[in-house]
Amino acid sequence: MSSKIAVVGCTGAVGIELVKCCHARKSVFGDAPPDLYASARSAGKTLDTPYGPLTVVEFNVETLKAKAYDFIFLAVSGGFSLENAIPLTTNASGTPTYVIDNSSAYRYHDEVPLVVPEINFDSIAALDSKLIANPNCTTAIAAMALYPIHQEFKLKKLIVSTYQAASGAGEPGMQELLEGCKAHVNGDARPENKIFSHPLPFNCIPMIDKLQENGYTKEEMKVAWEMKKIFGTDDIKVSTTAVRIPTLRAHAEAITLETEKDISPQAVVDCLKGKPGVVVEDDPANNVFPLPLTCSGRDDVSVGRIRQSLIFDNKGIDLFVCGDQLLRGAALNAVLIAEAIVTKK
Amino acid sequence: MSSKIAVVGCTGAVGIELVKCCHARKSVFGDAPPDLYASARSAGKTLDTPYGPLTVVEFNVETLKAKAYDFIFLAVSGGFSLENAIPLTTNASGTPTYVIDNSSAYRYHDEVPLVVPEINFDSIAALDSKLIANPNCTTAIAAMALYPIHQEFKLKKLIVSTYQAASGAGEPGMQELLEGCKAHVNGDARPENKIFSHPLPFNCIPMIDKLQENGYTKEEMKVAWEMKKIFGTDDIKVSTTAVRIPTLRAHAEAITLETEKDISPQAVVDCLKGKPGVVVEDDPANNVFPLPLTCSGRDDVSVGRIRQSLIFDNKGIDLFVCGDQLLRGAALNAVLIAEAIVTKK
């Protein structure tokens, strides 16, 4: 049976990946392409997709409700989601429409599940919610590596420093980086910046998203808030420094963790082995470790540089993770939520 | 009175900065330019310097000993330093020659002082040594921000994640990054790499220097070994993840620290105020924080994003530092050691 799917915000970096991820799971969702929606500005455009050329339709909440979709993916602003996400969960025919929202609008609402399907898929049924929030990219990528460790060794503390790609600011962010690099190699030492607060080429910017009262940015606090909600615990202390670096679409993170139980690098390797969505690449003597370039376009999160902590000794580990920001950090995670709903119900 | 100075390894990225730093301190060292030495391959070349054009002479240990220099700066490999640094401390006339070595060859020798002049200049007299080791760049940059904090609040733990520039691999590293970026923006997604273990453009590489038995790299362990030696304590636990990013010449570091005494962001700002070689740039609401682009070519280390730790609470701080790798991380620190010897003796 085929699923009826809509992608709202289909022209953005995440929207484009959503369509590709659906196509890669035709065996689950069926051969029919998703319907593509965007703002009036993009309506009528034709997009090249793996399904062939598809035409963009202007978003209108009533149009979508009338279509009785099984799944609506929102790759839009938080404000747009706040206005439309809940109305879209009901439709004309009364069948369930799951709305999977990539914005942060509903992530911290107690009644809305925040889901990494490999970790807490059950929270959707537990909350009996048709609106499902997709996590922040940095959180989702780290969670793939950390949850198996948490299950076996119980996490107490997480110190995270991020190396985040331009794609976190969407297609315009990637374009600004590429054009800025072009200008820089042609002799302009401080190329123009509109998307980022400072020029990103040959720079790194230690501030992402808005400043909070405690001096951390919202991007940094998201990791703490969301990790706890996804893992279902308040007992982990999380501190993050979120830094934008001149990479295109894969985020990396240096993580120091403290556990309740004794832990070792070999125990981490053993514990991650065979876990879905995560792969250990840890042979530094042969220059094998997670890299943004090799993780770009790949579904799995890569984990490497696994070593005993010099701070927390036998109860601590340092490691490095890397994952595609547009895939596990956004589109793939959302589509895997839908896949789990289709295959498990 | 004028100091007689030699720069060995004058054609490299650090060598070039050494000459500039000496020129900037003509009031201390006098108007005469340093003598420039390099390998046979560069001998006879003329370098453009702030003193005007200077000719490179082939290095020969006896030539230098005959010249009775006051200061010899070594910007050469560890192997070269091991062979030549000690012989160079004695000269024909019997006057003292201070050899200031930028390599890691002698940094961990108990009888050789490892010096950041603002912190432990006294260790030169205490060890009565004419050979002085210049610290690793990552260590020297962090130390400028951390030592005043250590003095007032006593550091217990340091967790450091680095964002290191291509200049750490010298001029060839910077060239490879620039040429790789040019190739990348012209369509080559994986430009050639010889200096770095993987292509650096649009990538980050979480491994710098050789792997040690404990799973950390030598670059990561240097921060631990050198911070303790410079601060004169074994009581600080230090863990580092050293990552190369596509920046040109300033290193950045995200640091989480735990202290013995209660500490606050304001107390850190107060404690760093007026300290030599360090400046607080911490107004994130107005996009003011340390940046590699603004720290390049600047003597002072910049500190920002100062916030109360979410891990160590009232006894912890998160902060971000940035400094020019070729200046405080190498040439400037070495020249400031010589300046302190001239002005304090």
Q: Does domain B5-135+330-344 have CATH number 3.40.50.720?
A: yes
B30: tokens are 């006098």
Classify residue B153 as exposed, middle or buried by CB count within 10 Å of its CB (0-12, 13-18, 19+).
Answer: buried
Query: Which amino acid would we find at residue B229?
Result: K
CB count within 10 Å of CB A261 equals 11
* Residue A1: per-residue pLDDT: 67
Could you tell me the mean pLDDT of each successive run of 10 residues in chain A, 345 residues long?
A: 94 97 97 97 97 98 96 96 97 93 97 98 96 98 98 98 97 96 86 95 97 98 98 98 97 98 98 97 98 97 98 98 96 98 88
Q: Which of A248, A246, A257, A273 is nearest to A307 (CA)?
A: A257
**Cβ <8 Å between B202 and A241:** no
Q: Which of B216, B289, B311 sits opposite A307 (nearest CB)?
A: B216
- Choosing from A21, A251, A295, A322, which is the catalytic residue? A251
DSSP conformation class of A87: H
* Residue A187: per-residue pLDDT: 84
**Cβ <8 Å between A292 and B190:** no
Contact A133, A101 (CB under 8 A): yes
* Residue B159: per-residue pLDDT: 98
Min distance B119 CA to chain A CA atoms (Å): 24
Contacts of B243 in chain A (CB under 8 A): 163, 252, 254, 320
DSSP conformation class of B286: G
* Residue B188: per-residue pLDDT: 82
Distances A139 to A40, A103, A321, B308 between C-alpha atoms, Å: 32, 13, 11, 21
**Cβ <8 Å between B304 and A206:** yes
Distance between CA A243 and CA A164 in Å, rounded?
Answer: 6
Helix (H, G, I), strand (E, B) or coil at A311: coil
Q: Which of A216, A246, A307 sits opposite B202 (nearest CB)?
A: A246
* Residue B1: per-residue pLDDT: 67
Helix (H, G, I), strand (E, B) or coil at B218: helix
pLDDT tens figures, B111-126: 999 999 999 999 999 9
**Cβ <8 Å between B215 and A184:** no
* Residue B35: per-residue pLDDT: 98
Q: Which of B139, B227, B247 is nearest to A243 (CA)?
A: B247
**Cβ <8 Å between B239 and A309:** yes
A154: tokens are 């119980």
Which residues in chain A are classed under CATH 3.40.50.720? 5-136+330-344
DSSP conformation class of B205: B
DSSP conformation class of A74: E
Query: Which amino acid would we find at residue B321?
Result: V
Task: Tell me which CATH code domain A5-136+330-344 carries.
Answer: 3.40.50.720
**Cβ <8 Å between B310 and A256:** no
Contacts of A203 in chain B (CB under 8 A): 247, 291-293
Residue B302 CB partners (closer than 8 Å, separation 6+): B278, B279, B280, B281, B290, B291, B294, B295, B321, B322, B323
* Residue A191: per-residue pLDDT: 84
Distance between CA A291 and CA A286 in Å, rounded?
Answer: 14
Classify residue A215 as exposed, middle or buried by CB count within 10 Å of its CB (0-12, 13-18, 19+).
Answer: middle
Q: Which fold has domain B138-325?
A: Dihydrodipicolinate Reductase; domain 2 (3.30.360)
Min distance A168 CA to chain B CA atoms (Å): 14
Residue numbers of B annotated as active site = 137, 251
Q: Which of A207, A157, A178, A171 is nearest to A318 (CA)?
A: A157
- Choosing from A137, A150, A295, A322, which is the catalytic residue? A137
Which residues in chain A are classed under CATH 3.30.360.10? 138-325
Share the mean pLDDT of chain B. 96
Residue located via tokens 């009644």: A111
CB pairs under 8 A between A and B: 171
pLDDT tens figures, B290-343: 999 999 999 999 999 999 999 999 999 999 999 999 999 999 999 999 999 999
DSSP conformation class of A185: H
Q: Which of A243, A223, A250, A251 is nearest to A157 (CA)?
A: A223
pLDDT surpassing 80 at residue B171:
yes
Distance between CA B163 and CA B142 in Å, rounded?
Answer: 12
Min distance A281 CA to chain B CA atoms (Å): 12
**Cβ <8 Å between B206 and A252:** yes
Q: Is A184 assigned a catalytic role?
A: no
Min distance A75 CA to chain B CA atoms (Å): 25
- Segment B254-269 mean pLDDT: 98
**Cβ <8 Å between B197 and A224:** no
- Segment B182-188 mean pLDDT: 88
- Segment B214-218 mean pLDDT: 98
- Segment B253-258 mean pLDDT: 98
Which residues in chain B are classed under CATH 3.40.50.720? 5-135+330-344
Say how many residues make up chain A: 345
pLDDT tens figures, A175-191: 999 999 999 988 887 78
Residue A213 CB partners (closer than 8 Å, separation 6+): none
pLDDT surpassing 90 at residue B189:
no
Contacts of A290 in chain B (CB under 8 A): 206
Q: Is A137 assigned a catalytic role?
A: yes
